[in-house]
Amino acid sequence: MAEQAEFTVTEEQRELRTALHRFCERAHDEATVRRLMASDDGFDRALWARLGGELGALSLAVPEELGGAGGTVVDQAVAAEELGAALVTGPLLGTVGLAIPALVAAPASGTRDALLADLAAGTRTGALVAGLFAPYDGATAAAVTAAGGTLSGEIGHVPDAAAADVLLVAADGPDGPVLACVEPGVPGVTVTGRGSLDPTRRIARVRLDGAAGTVLATGDDADRALQHAFRTAGALLAAEQVGIAARLLELTVGYATQRWQFGRPIGSFQAVKHRLADMLVGVEQARTAALHAAWAIVDPRLDDPDLAVAIAQATCSEVAYRAAADTVQLHGGIGFTWEHPAHLYYKRAIADAALLGSAEEYRERIAAAVLDTLPDDLAVPRVATG
């Protein structure tokens, strides 16, 4: 991979995209999304297992010796874009975005290896109990306390936790950060589903009252695993946002071509056409930023991965949200109905823009990385003095 130039697309990636596209068209169409979002778990376990087993779409960035496809985060990003475009309802963020990368980066152990294999195969699902609504910060990511082998604390917003088979917990221990796993069924664990603005991705409250957990990593190991999880989730969420924006562009272009008013297709009006042109521009910029983040995680010589993820998150959150808002607007009244899919994407877009930190928070990171450490020898442009 490293020898390959950034942004090149392999034949395997093209095939992966096509395979997932077909799968989603057949097995995960809009009717399925609507059925699943009204179901108890919010997703279909059998379908999830097919995504993991038959399609291998959950384990692309898991090394072969750990039961994965031995690909990279770039491959996983290609999948995330397709799955995002189809609004796949399942614990993608919790399992593929966060739990799997945390385990991949954690030290080897029997528990880790077994868990990773199950999550990658799609036979179990996971969630990460951590401060997920901000960019990664080792000092604040852990919101639970670990003491004497048990975990205590409460986190109000944990995506994908309600139906998770296992909870990975970022905790603060007596000797620094701890990454532990907890079975939701053990005493002292309360997971309460909360109504979610985005019905395709559930949020739950997790309370741990002296719950027993298995420690997977401590100290620097735990910090490294969590950092890798946040980065990877950031890049994959950005890819999902690209998929959303691209699908909405396609949908709205189709509508603008078919819907006639004043004796012409509405897409022939410049007010409409120009908005769609801007959507296209947004999709292109967003796709670049998301891919760059994935590449930087795979090969940090290309860029500081955290900066690349910040660029991707700041860019893609805004692009996907703008695309969703414009889609509602350009569909007119129909775009505001429950029946039309626009609102499903709109809700996913606003939720994605908040998960893992807002565009503003990432811009703050960019400002700190770029503006606050400018080199002294930067050329100052010549300014006229009159």
Partner 1 sequence: MTPPSTAAEVETAAREVVGRHDPGTVPRAELFGALYDAGLAWVHHPVGLGGLGLSRGLQTVVDGVVTDAGGDRMFAVNPIGYGMGAPTVVEYCADRELVARWLRPLATGEEIWCQLFSEPGAGSDVAGLTTSAVPDGDGWVINGQKVWTTLAHVARWGMLVARTDPDLPKHRGLTYFVIDMTQPGVEVRPLRQMTGQAEFNEVYLHDARVLDAHRLGDVGAGWRVAITTLMNERTAIGGVTGRRSSGVIGEALGLWRANPDRQTAVLRDRLARLWTRAETHRLTLVRAGRTATEGRPGPEGSVSKLVGAELNQDVYEFCMDLLGPDALLYDDYEIRPDPGSTLQQRFLRSRANTIEGGTSEVMRNILGERVLGLPGEPRSDSDRPWKEVPRG
Nearer to partner 1, 66 or 302 (CB): 302
Residue type (1 letter), 234? G
Nearer to partner 1, 253 or 354 (CB): 253
Backbone angles phi, psi at 205, to 5 degrees: -95, 135
Task: Say if CB 111 and CB 179 are below 8 A apart.
Answer: no
Q: Maximum CA pair distance of the chain?
A: 76
- Provide the binding-site residues for partner 1, judged by CB under 8 A: 5-9, 249, 253, 256-257, 264-265, 267-268, 270, 273-274, 276-278, 280-281, 284-289, 291-292, 311, 314-315, 360, 363-364, 366-367, 370-371, 374, 376, 378-386
Nearer to partner 1, 9 or 197 (CB): 9
Nearer to partner 1, 96 or 316 (CB): 316
Please give the C-alpha separations between residue 352 and each of 53, 126, 128, 193, 221, in angstroms, as whole numbers: 26, 18, 16, 18, 28
Nearer to partner 1, 339 or 372 (CB): 372
Write b or e for each residue in 85-111: b if 16 or more Cβ atoms lie within 10 A of its Cβ, otherwise e.
bbbbbbbbbbbbbbbbbbbbbbeeeee
In the complex, the smallest distance separating the C-beta of residue 276 from partner 1, rounded to whole angstroms, is 6
Question: Which residues of 237-284 form beta strands (DSSP E)?
Answer: 260-261, 264-265
Dig out the tokens for 116 from the structure: 């990773």
Q: E strand or H helix at 190, and its extent?
A: strand 189-194
Nearer to partner 1, 143 or 286 (CB): 286
In the complex, the smallest distance separating the C-beta of residue 78 from partner 1, rounded to whole angstroms, is 14
Distance CA 249, CA 381 (A): 40
Nearer to partner 1, 257 or 337 (CB): 257
Distance CA 88, CA 98 (A): 17
Residue type (1 letter), 251? L
Conformation bin of residue 191: beta by default, left when phi > 0, alpha when psi is -120 to 50: beta
In the complex, the smallest distance separating the C-beta of residue 221 from partner 1, rounded to whole angstroms, is 32
In the complex, the smallest distance separating the C-beta of residue 243 from partner 1, rounded to whole angstroms, is 17
In the complex, the smallest distance separating the C-beta of residue 312 from partner 1, rounded to whole angstroms, is 9
Dig out the tokens for 383 from the structure: 């300014």
In the complex, the smallest distance separating the C-beta of residue 31 from partner 1, rounded to whole angstroms, is 27
> How far is C-alpha 215 from the chain's CA centre?
25
In the complex, the smallest distance separating the C-beta of residue 42 from partner 1, rounded to whole angstroms, is 33
Q: E strand or H helix at 126, and its extent?
A: strand 126-129
Nearer to partner 1, 129 or 314 (CB): 314
Dig out the tokens for 189 from the structure: 């664990």
In the complex, the smallest distance separating the C-beta of residue 344 from partner 1, rounded to whole angstroms, is 23
